[in-house]
Amino acid sequence: TMEIKVIQGAKVPKGRLETQDLQGCGIKCRVTPLELVFVIDSSESVGVGDFNIIKTFMKTFIDKISADHVTTRIGIINFSHKAVVVSSLQNYTGKEDLKSTIDKMDYLGEGTYTASAIQGAINLFQEARPAVRKVAVVITDGQADSRDEEPLDSVVRKAHAAHIEIFVIGMSKTTDPHYNDFLDELKLIATDPDEEHVYPIHDFKTLSEIINHNEHQFSMSFFGILLFCERLHQPSFTVLLCLAIV
């Protein structure tokens, strides 16, 4: 079951007031503006089947957030041996159009130019509204390609300096000999603290469990921390305040 605890006297972030009945609680939540960019790996190792799973994940994800011009605008970068802007923040027109665009996304099927993709996201965020939270969600299954002309560490530093909050979902099996190196790379890319921004999975099918937030404890962490909550940091605890699933 879902439990949301609001500490008495805590300040709720400014935003449009929405009422959402969560597990019959009738909790009122403030939906704050957000600029969101998906950075999606469609390299050879991902494969067509898993790429389609990722596309389904994005569409379901979009359905669960308050995606309109007042609250959330969404952009998408599709990457492999190049970074392709599928949809920009400025051109965002609404959920249904974006889901149709996702359906038409091409599977690229070559290298993993993660740094170029993050640079593409940085460029998209230049269209962000002033003082609006900027979030990038990177979904990948492998280490960055050394052939990429963009150096990963410097691009990541640039993104963090631009106040882009980066979450990473990384798919790799623990039996992979390069698993630890891959995990280190995910931690490099993600915003600190890692435990709130790095989500290792062992199969892309797990994405459906993340979406099914009532059935999987991991997804509660994902939805709670990733996009649907404002966090109030108190001296001894973190308050998860406001699921904005409308």
Encode pLDDT of 175-188 as tens digits. 888 899 999 999 99
DSSP conformation class of 246 = -
Contact 28, 16 (CB under 8 A): no
Q: How much of the chain, in percent, has pLDDT values that exceed 90?
A: 51
> What CATH code would you report for 33-229?
3.40.50.410
> Is the pLDDT reported for residue 158 higher than 60?
yes
Is the model's pLDDT at 193 over the cut of 70? Answer: yes
Helices 152-161, 114-124: axis angle to 10 degrees equals 20
Which pairing describes strands 72-79 and 34-41: parallel, antiparallel, or unpaired? Answer: parallel
Residue 31: phi, psi to the nearest 5?
A: -95, 115
User: What are the pLDDT digits (tens) for 118-153?
Assistant: 999 999 999 999 999 999 999 999 899 999 999 999
Domain boundaries, the chain: 1-31+237-246, 33-229
**Average pLDDT for residues 87-115, to the nearest whole number?**
94
Alpha carbons 72 and 77: distance in angstroms, whole number: 17
β-pairing, 27-31 vs 83-87, is unpaired
